[in-house]
Amino acid sequence: MEVIAIAAVAKNGEIGKDNDLIWRLPADMKFFKESTFGHHIITGRKNYESIPERFRPLPGRVNVVLTRNEDYHVSGGEVVTSLESALDLAQNNGETEAFIIGGGEVYRLALESGKLTKMLITHVDASFEADTFFPKFDVSEWTTKVVAEYKADEKNAYDFTIVEYTKNQ
Ligand SMILES: NC(=O)c1ccc[n+]([C@@H]2O[C@H](COP(=O)([O-])OP(=O)(O)OC[C@H]3O[C@@H](n4cnc5c(N)ncnc54)[C@H](OP(=O)(O)O)[C@@H]3O)[C@@H](O)[C@H]2O)c1
């Protein structure tokens, strides 16, 4: 099973502020939906709660919420108390691609676990005020491939490039 972190990251590693996203890039949201659709998505409890209630659980995907709170309940989703349990759940369900969808704490956990096989990072060509960041990682451990490049337009305020990082063996 591939274990794939998917994130949109600005120039200084910014990913969020006040438990929300900082920018709206519909073309990137479309990429996120197409990439994750039909798969397990593993999210930190804070990121999950940042999704407006009417949009969660994200449809067409098994939403797996990571929390230390054993009494936490997610209607229409799964709750786990460790990354290992999240990955076991996906594996036991026959998943081929499990997506780690953030936020900052959970990206860090996933990177440090050594379990990530891939990352799909949307590099947003702008800087923002932020309180949550993608963890620093050693680029030399990964092989990169540009998946798509977008120029800002009337709906997407910033240029961005989607890069696939594959972990070197
Ligand atoms: N730009 C992007 O691509 C992107 C993507 C996703 C999120 N974000 C942003 O990221 C921010 C949220 O990130 P965050 O770092 O604050 O929070 P987070 O990673 O979404 O969630 C943190 C929570 O996950 C649970 N958790 C963490 N480590 C755990 C472990 N080892 N075992 C069990 N549970 C664990 C804990 O839940 P409990 O407190 O319930 O125990 C912890 O409080 C928001 O601003 C959001 O918009 C950005």
- The secondary structure element, H or E, covering residue 44 is strand 40-44
Q: Which amino acid would we find at residue 13?
A: G
With tokens 């702008």, the residue in question is 126
Fold designation for 2-150? Dihydrofolate Reductase, subunit A (3.40.430)
Which pLDDT tens digits describe the chain residue by residue (169 residues)?
A: 999 999 999 999 999 999 999 999 999 999 999 999 999 999 999 999 999 999 999 999 999 999 999 999 999 999 999 999 999 999 999 999 999 999 999 999 999 999 999 999 999 999 999 999 999 999 999 999 999 999 999 999 999 999 999 999 9
Question: Residue 134's pLDDT is what?
Answer: 98
- What does the pLDDT look like over 43-54, one tens digit per residue? 999 999 999 999
Q: Tokens in use for 106?
A: 């959970």
CA 109 to ligand 1 centroid distance, Å? 10
For ligand 1, which residues put their CB under 6 angstroms from it?
A: 7-8, 15-16, 19-21, 44-47, 50, 66-69, 81-82, 101-106, 109, 132
Q: Counting atoms of ligand 1 from 1, which one is nearest the CA of 107?
A: 19
- Residue 2's pLDDT is what? 98
Judge whether 13 and 121 are in contact, CB under 8 Å: no
State whether residue 151 is helix, strand or coil.
coil
Q: Give the helix/strand (H/E) hosting 39.
A: none
Candidate of 41, 50, 66 to mutate for ligand 1, largest count of ligand atoms within 8 Å of Cβ: 66
